[in-house]
Amino acid sequence: MNVHFPEELQEKIDRAAAAQGCDSESIVREAVERSLNYDQWFFREVENGLAAAEIGDFVDHDEVKKLIESRYR
């Protein structure tokens, strides 16, 4: 697979690679893997939340408000 980046992005990748002492390919591979892992986690969490809401397991507005207020006092 070949991926072509705009010059400005390629320069950022090259700088990051140099700063970390690795090659540009490693930087891109790590970034893609991190992004895909996050997406998988996020969609799982959304599905879990929807399933919980489906059975009525959720926190109502007043409880959320109290929680937020208690954390930021």
In this model, does residue 73 exceed pLDDT 90?
no
Residue 24 lies in a domain: no
Q: What is the dihedral of CA 24, 27, 29, 30, to 10 degrees?
A: 170
Residue 65 lies in a domain: yes
Residue 18 lies in a domain: no
Residue 64 lies in a domain: yes
Q: How confident is the prediction for the chain on average, in pLDDT? A: 95
- pLDDT above 90 as % of the chain: 89
Provide the pLDDT confidence category of residue 22 given band limits of 50, 70 and 90.
very high
Provide the pLDDT confidence category of residue 54 given band limits of 50, 70 and 90.
very high
Give CA angle at 16 (10, 11), nearest 5°. Answer: 20
> Rounded to two decimals, what is the model's pTM?
0.71
Number of domains in the chain: 1
Residue 59 lies in a domain: yes
Domain that holds residue 70: 29-73
